[in-house]
Structure 1
Amino acid sequence: MPVSAATETKLREAMARLLAGEPLHTDGSLTKENLAREARVSHATVHRAEEILGEWNAKVARPVRRTPGEVQRDETIAELRKQLRETKAKANELQGKLDALATVTANLYFENRELKEKESTRPEPGGRSPRHRTLEGVRSGEGARWPERPRRPEHVLRPRGYEQDHGT
C-alpha cells in the first residue's frame, strides 16, 4: 500500500536532514525509528513507503555511526559519571571519618563525666565531704542531692582497640 505524495515528501526531507546530520526532531542517529519521528509519521507508514525505505537501506547499509554531537554528548556523560563516582567515594570516606570522630567524641564525653564524678566524690583534705559543694536541692529545703548520672547511650560505639587500651 503506497503512501501519499505529501507523506513521501515528508520522509524524503527527513531522510535528507538525518543524513546531513541536521535533525530537527530526533537525536540524529540513523535508524528507521528516527526517520519516522523526524518526518512526524508513524513507524508503520515508513514501512509502507517501500521506495523510500529502499533508498534509506541503500544509504544507511553501512554501520550506524554516531554524529559528532552524539560523540561529544557521550564523552561528556562519561566524564560526569566518572566525577560522580569520585565524589561519592570521597563523600563515603568523609562520612566514615565523621562517624569515627563522633564516636570518639561521645566516648571522651562520657569518660570525662565519669572522671568528674569520681573527682567530686573524693574527700577533701581536712575530712570534709564534697557534698557541700552542690547547691541542688538546698534552696528547696530538701538538702543536698547529687544530680542523676547520665548513662552511656547504647548506640554509642567504641572505636576499634578501645577495650584493649582502656581495659573495659
Structure 2
Amino acid sequence: MTPAPTERDRIRAAMDRILGGTPQHSNGALTIVALAQEAKVPRNALTQRHLDLKNEFYERVKERGATPDVEIRLRKTIVKLKETIANKNTELDQLRTDVPSLVRAVNQLELENQEFRRMLALPEPNVIPLPNRQPPITRT
C-alpha cells in the first residue's frame, strides 16, 4: 500500500507539472497562487509553512529564464498607467493654456456688463433690456 502523498510531495509534484507546462488544477501561471491551486493546498502553506518550497519554485522559474506572470501583468499595468499619466498631463497642460484666455474673456464681459449697467442708469438710456428668453420655472 502506497502512503498518501504529503503536502510537500503534492507541492513538488505541482511544481513539476506547472514548470513542465502540464497543469491539471490551475491555469499554469508561474505564481504561488497557481502553485497552491495546482497542489490543492492553501496559499499560506507556501507562504508560511513551506517557505523553502516557495523559494525553490521561484528559483526554478528564474533558472528557466521565464518571466513570472505576475511580473508580466504588472509591467502591462505600468505601461497603461504611464499612458494615462501622459494623457492627463497633456490635458492638464491644455487646461493651463486655456485659463488665461478664459480669464481675459470673463474680464472683458465684466467690463462690458459694467458699461451696460452704467448706460442703463442714464436718464435716457440707449440700452433696452431684452426680455428673458427662458420660460419661467414652474413648480408643480
Question: Take 1:130 and 1:9, find their aligned partners in 2: how far apart are those partners?
Answer: 102
Question: Take 1:57 and 1:133, find their aligned partners in 2: how far apart are those partners?
Answer: 87
**Is contact 2:21–2:28 with CA below 8 Å preserved after alignment?**
no
Q: CA deviation at 1:110?
A: 0.8
Matches within 5 A, 1:29-44: 29=31, 35-42=35-42, 43=45
**Is contact 1:11–1:39 with CA below 8 Å preserved after alignment?**
yes
The 1:66–1:130 alpha-carbon spacing in structure 2 relative to 1, beyond 3 Å, is: farther
Question: Take 1:35 and 1:132, find their aligned partners in 2: how far apart are those partners?
Answer: 85
Q: Does 1:97 align with 2:97?
A: yes
**Is contact 2:19–2:61 with CA below 8 Å preserved after alignment?**
no
The 1:88–1:99 alpha-carbon spacing in structure 2 relative to 1, beyond 3 Å, is: same
Question: Take 1:87 and 1:41, find their aligned partners in 2: how far apart are those partners?
Answer: 44
TM-score by length of 1: 0.47
Question: Take 1:110 and 1:28, find their aligned partners in 2: how far apart are those partners?
Answer: 65
Q: Does 1:107 align with 2:107?
A: yes
CA RMSD of aligned residues (A): 4.4
Question: What amino acid is the match of 2:30?
Answer: G
Q: CA deviation at 1:6?
A: 7.3
Residue 124 of structure 2 is matched in structure 1 by 130
Query: SS state of the match for residue 30, structure 2?
Result: coil
TM-score by length of 2: 0.54
Per-residue CA distance 1:19-39 (angstroms, 9 max, x = gap): 13565256413x5x6533431
**Is contact 2:119–2:125 with CA below 8 Å preserved after alignment?**
no
Q: CA deviation at 1:109?
A: 1.1
Question: Take 1:131 and 1:9, find their aligned partners in 2: how far apart are those partners?
Answer: 98
Question: What amino acid is the match of 2:124?
Answer: P
Question: Take 1:90 and 1:12, find their aligned partners in 2: how far apart are those partners?
Answer: 51
Question: Take 2:126 and 2:61, find their aligned partners in 1: how far apart are those partners?
Answer: 96
Question: What amino acid is the match of 1:130?
Answer: E
Identity of aligned residues (%): 17
Per-residue CA distance 1:69-107 (angstroms, 9 max, x = gap): 556534422321220110110121233234434322221
Q: Which stretch of structure 1 is more off in the superposition, 14-23 or 102-111?
A: 14-23
Matches within 5 A, 1:36-115: 36-42=36-42, 43=45, 47=50, 53=53, 57=56, 60=59, 63=62, 65-67=65-67, 69=69, 72-115=72-115
Question: Take 1:59 and 1:104, find their aligned partners in 2: how far apart are those partners?
Answer: 61
**Is contact 1:21–1:28 with CA below 8 Å preserved after alignment?**
no
The 1:100–1:21 alpha-carbon spacing in structure 2 relative to 1, beyond 3 Å, is: farther
Q: Does 1:28 align with 2:27?
A: no
